[in-house]
Structure 1
Amino acid sequence: MQQDSGFVSMRHRLRIAHVITRLINGGADENTVHSCNWAAQRGHDVVLLHGEMVHPEILAKVDPRVELIGVPGLTRSISPVSDVKALLALTRRFRALHADIVHTHTSKAGILGRFAAWKAGVPAIVHGVHIVPFVNVGVAERFAYLALEKLAAPVTSAFISVSEGIRDLCLSAGVGHPDKHYVVHSGFDLDRFRNARPPDDWRDLLRLTPGAPRPPVLLMIAAFEPRKRHTEFLDVFKKVAVRLPDAVLVLAGDGPLRSIVESRAKWLGLERQVVFTGYRDDPERLIALADLCLLCSMREGLPRVVMQYLAGGKPCVACDLPGLREVLRPGINAVITPEHDLAAMADAIAALLEDRERLACLAQGAAATDLSNWDAKLMGKRIDAIYREALDQHRASKGVPTRPPVGNVALPR
């Protein structure tokens, strides 16, 4: 079989097991599903082990060739009894699967999955770092996660971070040796966002009366979770609403805090200016509708949604977080405000909406941003190269000859 066929031969087929705490409509989850699908479509045997929280929308995106296995006790919250149950279940599964690679995702699954894989004797153990769990958290939580990450580092064959900033945070905290760290940006279908059009029912979506002019549209796509700071942002968005009473804020997504955020909007008297869309399977069309896109999270890796905003040709106002400046360029395609100053973010949003010429320049910069590193196919190839490298290192440590390369993809340090 030729190398450019896109498929692996029987001799190079891998048994890959991915592990994630939950499967919801989030960036880490979509990244995991894409990684599974890419490998399965190229002939690898792929298993996705997941925790108890599962959303049907994300399950529908999983390739039928990927085997799905629920893991009892694998939950996001810390629970000693459930955690031990999940650890034992994962260990049994890995032994039965005879996996070549275990690839863990997110913090909780990353800790339990790596220890279970090590206990089961899996040759190569890879951890995907989508977010750093010991940053912008309480002292006790930081200490616990940092201690566990350092404990798991020696059994980790490779770390795959979604941004250089995330990698650097891990290294500065002493998590893992530099030679074990790689950066693979979280890929997606760029053309889907570059060529999108607004929803056909955009007037209904914005609740416009017949003949009403199109208002300025702000968009934030984010799961309704505490670290996304929806409620806190609504408090400062009131300032924007006063300066620009015709502006509409579209909040797309779902999650446990949605009803609380909706109540907050009502309490603030913002029902007319804030639209809740719920989960949408066409985020590219919402981005096409927007004038300006937002991100106000307190913790992130390098969220795919930021690249999706830019791929759609829309500038972004975001709080300053590690990794964002790899792609966001203040004054070129974005405005970056202090991490803990949402009031400054609100001021920046209002100022941009009032200066349409500047907004148009940032939109041009967004459309011109080089996003080639976020191409979905490149992501799959880079991850595959890291798997091969990890397995070669394992074989070398055992005195076993390494296999010939399947392709020629540079390792993304």
Structure 2
Amino acid sequence: MNKKKLRILHCLEKLYSGGVERRRLTLAKLLDQNQYEQKIICTEARGPLADEIRSHGVEIIQELPFNSIFDWKRYQRGAKFMRDWQPDIVHGAVFEGCAMAAVAGRLARRPIILTEETSDPQNRSWRGHLLYRAIVSLADYAVAVSPAVGTYLNEKIKVPRKKIRVITNGVIPPRIPNPAEIHAKRDELGLPKDAFVVGSVGRVFNSPKRFSDLIEAVAILKVSCPNLYLLIVGDGPDKSMLERLAEQLGMQNRVIFTGYQYDTGLIYALMDVFALVSEYEAFGLVLVEAMFCGLPIVTSGEGGMKNIVVNNETGVFVPKRNVQAIATALQNLYFDKPLGKQMGEAGRLRAQEHFSAERYVKDVDEFYQFLAKKYGVFK
């Protein structure tokens, strides 16, 4: 048994509330602290998720933000920190985090450098692809969060398959609230007792999330499904625009914007259907969370989402940007509640079998140990 702890430095851009940050929380909670010492370097960290990561003994170092991806002084500062702390594995995620891991890691002569592609970057420019290819060329391995991302790395970025490691995301199931909490939350949000609630969770960027398609879809169903409500959970720059859209469609009382909610378990407990109709997603952690909560799914199935949801078994696939198809899928689940319950239970079992946090951390642990052995960290 190795006495030396593996030192892991995670490089991110910002640490707020997204899926990348939640995976770092999972690693902070579940990676064996007798074998690993973890730190995170980022430009900014705030909010309850950052506090929870710290509570598990992971130090968060906040550096000055990038002036640009070519901010050489920032890489030099990152390299200085790496030389001082001597991490065994430098693990970058998101574009800026990968750049920091690759460039500063090489400057600091760290033995193992990983880049992790966490998006399905269909809108990345050709210059962006070239730059990311240069970044990944400095790494020892490129981690993909889903098979779809692995395909992108190989076919678009031209990363050799032997250099790609697919580690499918895993999720800690949201907590199960008690009936009194659920009742109080429904009252707080103004949801009637008989409301049939469709929910969607994510940072409020209409591209790629397409929350506007959900709003237009429920507007189509305003008469045929009179007690159907839509919850949009999250914050972001497009929230005001979407609020105006709901008002223009006469849906301001049926579309509820909750803002950011840290207690996602309580929010999922309000829902009857979960919808994520993004133009693209690398994975879709919120889909797995919703499945753990027994919710049927309506999704575009783009990118990594098609590897999570099984069409007509755990949910329904709809073409992206097809408002009428979304409305039809929601209407079918509204009028066939036994079908929704059946899909939700199948989704719960699938999430437990394939997307548990324990499985994810086991895969990461085995990969880190493989790397440590391959590159002679313990010699």
Give the TM-score taking structure 2 as reference length.
0.90
Matches of 1:180 and 1:371, distance apart in 2:
29
Residue 331 of structure 2 is matched in structure 1 by 350
Residue 271 of structure 1 pairs with residue 259 of structure 2: no
Runs of 4+ in 1 over 6 A off after TM superposition: none
Residue 47 of structure 2 is matched in structure 1 by 56
Change (3 A) 1:197 1:368: farther
Deviation at 1:391, TM superposition (A): 3.0
Identical pairs, percent: 21
Matches of 1:85 and 1:341, distance apart in 2:
46
Deviation at 1:172, TM superposition (A): 2.0
Return the match for 2:228 from 235, 240, 247: 247
**3-state SS of the aligned residue for 2:222?**
helix
**3-state SS of the aligned residue for 1:41?**
coil
Change (3 A) 1:235 1:286: same
Deviation at 1:230, TM superposition (A): 2.1
Contact 1:40 1:63 in 2 (8 A): no
Return the match for 2:184 from 183, 201, 209: 201
Residue 214 of structure 1 is matched in structure 2 by 194
Deviation at 1:174, TM superposition (A): 4.2
Return the match for 1:392 from 358, 366, 373: 373
Return the match for 2:26 from 25, 30, 34: 34
Deviation at 1:219, TM superposition (A): 0.8
Matches of 1:58 and 1:372, distance apart in 2:
26
Change (3 A) 1:389 1:36: same
Residue 163 of structure 2 is matched in structure 1 by 180
Query: Cα deviation per residue 1:230-283 (whole Å; 9 max; x = unaligned)?
Result: 234323432132432311111111223223322332233212101122222221
Return the match for 1:101 from 89, 93, 113: 89
Deviation at 1:144, TM superposition (A): 1.8
Change (3 A) 1:74 1:57: farther
**3-state SS of the aligned residue for 1:391?**
helix
Matches of 2:36 and 2:66, distance apart in 1:
25
Return the match for 1:130 from 118, 125, 135: 118
**3-state SS of the aligned residue for 2:171?**
coil
Return the match for 2:240 from 230, 246, 259: 259
Q: What letter is aligned with 1:67?
A: E
Residue 12 of structure 1 pairs with residue 4 of structure 2: yes
**3-state SS of the aligned residue for 2:237?**
coil
Residue 62 of structure 2 is matched in structure 1 by 70
Matches of 1:403 and 1:20, distance apart in 2:
26
Residue 223 of structure 1 pairs with residue 203 of structure 2: yes
Query: Cα deviation per residue 1:309-364 (whole Å; 9 max; x = unaligned)?
Result: 11111110011212222221111110011133243222221232123343233223
Q: CA RMSD in A?
A: 2.4
Q: What letter is aligned with 1:33?
A: L
Change (3 A) 1:46 1:361: closer
**Deviates further, 244-253 or 354-363:** 354-363
**3-state SS of the aligned residue for 1:201?**
helix
Matches of 1:34 and 1:162, distance apart in 2:
14
Q: Name structure 2 gaps, 5 residues minimum.
A: none
Contact 1:72 1:89 in 2 (8 A): no
Return the match for 2:143 from 160, 164, 187: 160
Return the match for 2:295 from 297, 314, 327: 314
Change (3 A) 1:385 1:188: same
Query: Cα deviation per residue 1:267-313 (whole Å; 9 max; x = unaligned)?
Result: 33212101122222221222222110010222211121111111111
Matches of 1:80 and 1:104, distance apart in 2:
14
**3-state SS of the aligned residue for 2:168?**
coil
Contact 2:114 2:139 in 1 (8 A): yes
Matches of 1:267 and 1:18, distance apart in 2:
44
Contact 1:126 1:159 in 2 (8 A): yes
Deviation at 1:224, TM superposition (A): 1.0
Matches of 1:207 and 1:123, distance apart in 2:
55
Change (3 A) 1:392 1:286: same
Aligned residues: 375
Residue 235 of structure 1 is matched in structure 2 by 216
Deviation at 1:102, TM superposition (A): 0.4
Contact 2:31 2:361 in 1 (8 A): yes
Residue 36 of structure 2 is matched in structure 1 by 44
Deviation at 1:196, TM superposition (A): 4.6
**3-state SS of the aligned residue for 1:186?**
coil
Matches of 2:271 and 2:213, distance apart in 1:
21
Change (3 A) 1:364 1:62: closer
Contact 1:124 1:387 in 2 (8 A): no
Contact 2:296 2:315 in 1 (8 A): yes
Deviation at 1:173, TM superposition (A): 1.8
**3-state SS of the aligned residue for 2:350?**
coil
Give the TM-score taking structure 1 as reference length.
0.83
